[in-house]
Amino acid sequence: MSNGSLSEYAKKILQKDRISFGDVQRLQRTVLPDGIGSREEAELLIELDRRVEKSDDAWGRCLVAMIVDFVVWSERPTGVVDEDTARWLSATLAGSASSTARLIAREIAEEAQAFENDALLAVADLSRTSRPARKPKAAAVLTAGA
């Protein structure tokens, strides 16, 4: 649907300061049935995650899946996180103490088939701060090819 519809959805969520299971279903079925279509939509959803205090567990799972799908499979080149996309995502997720933001970074590192230049490091830095002992699986792709 249009970004206007997503904007109205976000406005209602912010007014009640809670994301319910029904809100997640509405997002998936009515507001963005085909997933995220632009960086602006992704940014708005990440901002909702940052600002809303209470949310159903389904929200985090939905947000991670939608962002990963958009970044890895909708952005071009498909399956590759290029440097521009990694910088954009890092800037968008920066400053968020949300466990969802860290999970997004980890899931993208695992899902992407390849990373250009130091794009992996830009995205995966967020996940390293939460679990310094573990590196994303995709890190092996970067170091093995070097």
Tell me the per-residue pLDDT of 57-92, one tens digit each, with 9 for 90 and over. 999 999 999 999 999 999 888 898 888 898 899 889
pLDDT score for 110: 87
Expressed as residue numbers, the domain containing 38 is 3-144
pLDDT score for 96:
72
- Report d(CA 81, CA 108) in Å as an integer: 8
Assigned token pair, 16: 């009640």
Q: Is the pTM of this model over 0.85?
A: no
Across 45-60, average pLDDT:
94
The pLDDT assigned to 77 comes to: 84
CA 8/CA 103 separation, integer angstroms: 26
Residue 125's nearest CA partner among 86, 71, 98 is 86
- Work out the percent of the chain whose per-residue pLDDT is above 70: 75
Band of residue 128 on the pLDDT scale cut at 50, 70, 90: low
Which pair of tokens denotes residue 17? Answer: 């300061």
pLDDT band at residue 123, thresholds of 50, 70 and 90?
low
Q: How many distinct helices (H) and strands (E) make up the chain? A: 8, 4
Quickly tell me which residue has 């952005």 as its tokens.
Answer: 75
Residue 1: pLDDT band with limits 50, 70, 90: very low
Mean pLDDT, the chain, integer:
81
Tell whether the model's pLDDT for residue 127 goes beyond 80. no
